[in-house]
């Protein structure tokens, strides 16, 4: 049996793997807008975090690559080595910036968080790239955010009038500013105090000197899951990030829940906001955005898309010679429609697989 490399060997192995995966990914970019047009949707990013392993940065880089479909503008990783925080943020793809073993070695520590950016607010410039970091009186804090705050403009205006200085134009910086101004004693309680002031969609991974923290908004608009790798807790936007590194899926983070993960493997749960019934997850995640091999809110993305196609055949039957999908997200739905209607499934449109998701490329 081949042993999994550790420490420096694992970082070097991860770097080599990212170079190979990145080359494959770059070959798949460039022509998709010729098929579906260059639509610009603005609400997605990918987040990942792990604690309790010496390979935290390398695992985070691999996890972010698995979430690359959620954001192609920029990527960043922050780590903590027990004494100091380290932060690397770059414009471009994960594999373009974290496939060098020297870069991963600079991100020392047994805990790390990462972010792939697809901007909701703020220009595509380095100061808006996450994770965002700040030194507070209770220690450092790094934040990676997927979502969009609907009261960001109001909050920022109030904070600027009180003398706060913002270093970015991203709404995500509000989590740092509001946490810094809280009068609560612990960093977790300060973060919770912050969460009670924001409105909108947010799935967060937060790194402090003591813990890795995961947060999901009260109605569960953005996805966030808990995983495990040999006793090390993992947080990620989608389960496909766990598959790439050989981790196991534990459960979804509940809407309104805060989970505090420790280096010793302990995971504490706090239901900060009362559960909303029913939850209101973004339907776009299941219809289009999430990878088909992911599990989102307990549902197989592939199977749900297939069932939607079957439902469509029942509700809107039609006379046709065949069923053909708009590749690739439409394939499972077309299969379901074909099976339910008895029509043949044919690939009338062939998408080049040397193409990526150009609709999320920056202007």
Residue from 45, 194, 261, 282 carrying the catalytic annotation: 45
Looking at residue 353, its pLDDT comes to 57
* Bridge partners for 48 per DSSP: 114, 236
What pLDDT tens digit does each residue of the chain (363 aa) get? 445 565 678 888 888 878 777 676 655 554 433 333 333 444 479 999 999 999 999 999 999 999 998 988 899 999 999 999 999 999 999 999 999 999 999 999 999 999 998 755 555 688 999 999 999 998 999 999 999 999 999 999 999 999 999 999 999 999 999 999 999 999 999 999 999 999 999 999 999 999 999 999 999 999 999 999 999 999 999 999 999 999 999 999 999 999 999 999 999 999 999 877 788 888 888 888 899 999 888 889 999 999 999 999 999 999 999 999 987 788 999 999 999 999 999 988 876 655 555 555 555
What does the block give as tokens for 21? 């995966």
pLDDT (0 to 100) of residue 358: 52
Q: Is 261 a catalytic residue?
A: no
Q: Which residue segments constitute the domains of the chain, with CATH numbers given? A: 7-284 (3.60.20.10), 298-348 (no CATH)
In angstroms, rounded to a whole number, what is the distance separating the alpha carbons of residues 342 and 335? 10
Q: What is the pLDDT of residue 15?
A: 80
What's the pTM value of the predicted model, to 2 decimals?
A: 0.85
> Is 97 in contact with 150 (CB distance < 8 Å)?
no
Residue 277, pLDDT score: 72
What string of H, E and C letters represents the secondary structure of the chain?
A: CCCCCCHHHHHHHHHHHHHHHHHHHHHCCCCCHHHHCCCCCCCCCEEEEEECCCCHHHHHHHHHHHCHHHCCCEEEEEEECCCCEEEEEEECCHHHHCCCHHHHHHCCCCEEEEEEECCCCCCCCHHHCCCEEEEECCEEEEEEEEEEECCHHHHHHHHHHCCCCCCCCCCCHHHHHHHHHCCCCCHHHHHHHHHCCCCEEEEEEEEECCCEEEEECCCCCCCCEEEEECCEEEEECCCHHHHHHCCEEEEECCCCEEEEECCCCCEEEEECCCCCCCCCCCHHHHHHHCCCCCEECCEEHHHHHHHHHHHHHHHCCCCCCCECCCCCCCHHHHHHHHHHHCCCECCCCCCCCCCCCHHHCCC
């Amino acid at each position: 049996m081949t042993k999994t490399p550790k420490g420096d060997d694992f970082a070097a192995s991860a770097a080599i793997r990212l170079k190979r995966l990145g080359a494959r990914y770059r070959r798949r970019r460039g022509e998709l807008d010729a098929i579906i047009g260059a639509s610009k949707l603005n609400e997605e990013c990918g987040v990942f975090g792990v604690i309790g392993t010496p390979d935290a940065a390398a695992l985070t880089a691999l996890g972010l690559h698995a979430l690359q479909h959620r954001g192609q503008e920029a990527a960043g990783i922050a780590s903590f080595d027990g004494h100091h925080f380290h932060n690397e943020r770059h414009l471009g793809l994960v594999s373009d910036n974290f496939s060098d073993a020297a870069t991963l070695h600079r991100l020392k520590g047994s805990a790390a968080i990462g972010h792939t950016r697809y901007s909701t607010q703020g220009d595509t410039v380095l100061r808006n790239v996450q994770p965002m970091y700040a030194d507070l009186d209770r220690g450092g804090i790094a934040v990676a955010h997927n979502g969009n705050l609907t009261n960001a403009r109001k909050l920022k205006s109030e904070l600027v009038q009180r003398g706060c200085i913002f270093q970015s134009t991203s709404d995500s910086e509000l989590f740092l500013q509001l946490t810094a101004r809280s009068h609560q004693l612990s960093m977790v309680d300060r973060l919770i105090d912050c969460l009670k002031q924001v409105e909108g969609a947010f799935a967060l991974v937060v790194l402090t000197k003591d813990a890795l923290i995961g947060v999901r908004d009260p109605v569960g608009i953005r996805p966030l899951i808990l995983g495990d790798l040999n006793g090390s807790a993992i947080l990620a936007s989608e389960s496909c990030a766990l598959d790439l590194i050989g981790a196991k899926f534990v459960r979804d983070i509940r809407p309104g829940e805060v989970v505090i993960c420790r280096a010793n493997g302990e995971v504490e749960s706090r239901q900060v906001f009362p559960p909303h019934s029913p939850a209101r997850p973004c339907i776009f995640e299941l219809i289009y955005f999430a990878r088909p091999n992911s599990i989102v809110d307990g549902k197989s993305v592939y199977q749900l898309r297939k069932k939607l196609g079957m439902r469509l055949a029942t509700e809107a039957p039609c006379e046709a010679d065949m069923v053909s999908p708009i590749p690739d997200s439409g394939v499972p739905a077309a299969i379901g429609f074909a099976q339910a209607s008895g029509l043949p499934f044919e690939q009338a449109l062939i998408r080049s697989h040397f193409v990526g998701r150009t609709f999320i490329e920056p202007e």
